[in-house]
Amino acid sequence: MDCGKGESLKMKNDVNATHIVPSKLAAVLEKAAEFHGHLGPFLVIGVRIGLIGLKEISKHNGEQLTIDLSLPLHVPFSCIIDGLQVTTHCTVGNQKLSVRDSGSVKARFIGENKGVEVMIALNKSTFEELKFQLLGESIPEEEVRRLAWMIAEISEDKLFEISRTTRTH
């Protein structure tokens, strides 16, 4: 799939259609798609990882955040990077996000005082299914967007495996 290609964004229309996506998430997705250039399932995965990680880490007051992200370093998977950057403001540029090539998708959120860590891994079967649907042949933009909204709707515990660690000093 060609990541950058695609028609102009029609997010608002999508939101008003049949999708059951919380309005807060829909607003963040709109911002992410504007930044990234299009809406696709892996951008949504990045946004959702970012929102979960922020929620988890901010439970612990005063934590500054860094993130280690592992993923296949090519499109469409690399779209995850932008979703994560938009939501967390941890970026490759400010060196709060480090990115490494991997066969699976997972993000480790680290509280700056190293007291708190959250690991968010993309569910293996969801990942395999998306690869199957996206990498086979060139698929229409509408189908990519449909998959994106499907990912936005899946419950957190079906999409990810989340593990939390609190280290004592």
Binding positions for Zn ion, rule: CB under 5 A: 3, 40, 79
- Spatial distance between the Cα atoms of 86 and 125, rounded to a whole number of angstroms: 26
If the CB atoms of residues 3 and 147 are measured against Zn ion, the closer one turns out to be 3
Cβ 37 to Zn ion shortest distance, Å: 7
Q: Toward Zn ion, which CB reaches closer, 32 or 65?
A: 32
The CB-nearest residue to Zn ion is 79
Q: Pick the closer one to Zn ion by CB: 40 or 111.
A: 40
Order across the sheet with 65-71: list the strands. 97-101, 65-71, 106-111, 116-122, 160-166
Rounded least distance, CB 45 to Zn ion, Å: 11
Minimum distance of Zn ion from residue 89's CB (angstroms): 19
User: 116-122 and 97-101: which strand pairing?
Assistant: unpaired
44 versus 57: smaller Cβ distance to Zn ion: 44
Return the structure tokens found at 42.
Answer: 């892996």
How many DSSP H helices and E strands does the chain contain? 7, 5
Q: How far is the CB of 40 from Zn ion (least distance, A)?
A: 5
CB of residue 32 to Zn ion, shortest distance in Å: 10
**Neighbour count for residue 142 (Cβ, 10 Å):** 11
CB closer to Zn ion out of 66 and 87:
87
Tokens 């919380």 belong to residue: 22
Q: Which helix (H) or strand (E) holds 109?
A: strand 106-111
